[in-house]
């Protein structure tokens, strides 16, 4: 799998803009001040290291780590998807008591990578005989790591560009679409599961999932007021779920098909 080939075109554009603008601002602000750079970066590194130590104390003491000996079936999915995405070091993964909230997070402190799976999300997507829905969501979070979205140095370089109105949110939305494409490539033969995972997250109901019309849900996008929908979109860090499902379906429709082996 080539992660770079799966990046959404908008992420490539916004990432290039953010890196270029952020880099220029950093150069202008720090040119010739090597000591200033060190004085700026060292406290940040120290704060991150301390934060990561407190985070580990909290997460290991209050959540359940996914390993070969704990939730082995879930761990097998994580290991397989990480291998698909070319991750040489699999993020440490934990199931967190979410109190009803359905979410998952990709986090990185310096060199340590984490995935947090909210317990309600796992309950919502888990199927004993078909794990592709959960695989889609896990692959999405791992994709943020494999695509470098949580890279400390890249994000630090781009940080000044995030102060430009709407650019940071646009980049974030593009990253989400990239992660969706990478995740979809990890369930290449099950578009239904990939789309259903998104539908389930939108409704928050496992019971209603099989009764939900994907076409009718996508048509809701047409009912969104044009001006306010545009404003809502440019202020959001995530695309609307109606648009995410449309992008996923278009990815499946246009992705290169594997060439059959000659007889």
The answer to whether position 93 is within a domain reads yes
pLDDT in tens, 57-104: 999 999 999 999 999 999 999 999 999 999 999 999 999 998 889 999
Other C-beta atoms closer than 10 Å to the C-beta of 175 total 24
pLDDT in tens, 187-212: 999 999 999 999 999 999 999 998 99
Range of the domain at 237: 3-254
pLDDT class for 259, splitting at 50, 70, 90? very low
- Residue 199: predicted pLDDT: 95
- Residue 10: predicted pLDDT: 86
- Residue 43: predicted pLDDT: 79
Neighbouring residues of 167: CB distance < 8 A, sequence distance ≥ 6 = 14, 17, 18, 21, 161
Evaluate if residue 246 carries a pLDDT over 50.
Answer: yes
Q: pTM of the prediction? A: 0.85
Q: What is the mean pLDDT of residues 47-64?
A: 92
- Residue 97: predicted pLDDT: 95
Which residue has better confidence, 83 or 39? 83
Residue of 116, 175, 103, 125 lying closest to 146 (CA atoms): 175
The answer to whether position 263 is within a domain reads no
Q: What angle do CA 255, 260, 263 make, to 5 degrees?
A: 175
Other C-beta atoms closer than 10 Å to the C-beta of 76 total 13
Which residue has better confidence, 261 or 151? 151
Average pLDDT, the chain: 90
Backbone torsion region of residue 204, taken as left when φ is above 0, otherwise alpha when ψ lies between -120 and 50, otherwise beta? left
The answer to whether position 261 is within a domain reads no
Range scoring the smallest mean pLDDT among 60-69, 160-169, 179-188:
160-169
Q: What is the mean pLDDT of residues 34-53?
A: 75
- Residue 11: predicted pLDDT: 86
Evaluate if residue 258 carries a pLDDT over 60.
Answer: no
The answer to whether position 262 is within a domain reads no
Count: domains in the chain: 1
- Residue 261: predicted pLDDT: 42
Neighbouring residues of 85: CB distance < 8 A, sequence distance ≥ 6 = 1, 3, 139, 142, 143, 145, 146, 182, 186
């Amino acid at each position: 799998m080539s992660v770079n080939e799966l990046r959404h075109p908008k992420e490539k554009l916004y990432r290039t803009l953010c890196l270029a603008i952020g880099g220029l601002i950093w150069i202008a602000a720090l040119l010739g001040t090597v000591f200033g750079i060190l004085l700026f970066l060292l406290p940040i590194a120290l704060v991150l290291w301390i934060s990561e130590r407190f985070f580990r104390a909290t997460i290991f003491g209050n959540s359940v780590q996914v390993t070969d000996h704990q939730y082995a079936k879930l761990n097998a999915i994580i290991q397989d998807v990480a291998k698909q995405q070319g991750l040489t070091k699999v993020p440490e993964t934990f199931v967190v008591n979410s109190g009803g909230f359905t979410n998952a997070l990709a986090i990185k402190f310096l060199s340590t990578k984490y995935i947090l799976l909210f317990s309600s999300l796992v309950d919502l997507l888990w199927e004993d005989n078909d794990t592709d829905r959960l695989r889609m969501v896990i692959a999405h979070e791992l994709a943020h790591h494999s695509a470098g979205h949580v890279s400390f140095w890249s994000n630090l370089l781009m940080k000044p560009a995030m102060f430009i109105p709407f650019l940071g949110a646009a980049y974030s939305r593009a990253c989400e679409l990239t992660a969706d494409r990478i995740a979809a490539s990890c369930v290449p033969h099950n578009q239904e599961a990939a789309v259903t995972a998104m539908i389930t997250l939108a409704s928050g109901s496992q019971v209603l999932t099989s009764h939900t019309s994907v076409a009718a849900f996508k048509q809701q996008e047409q009912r969104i007021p044009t001006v306010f929908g545009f404003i809502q979109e440019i202020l959001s860090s995530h695309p609307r779920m109606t648009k995410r499902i449309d992008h996923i379906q278009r990815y499946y429709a246009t992705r290169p098909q594997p060439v059959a082996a000659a007889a």
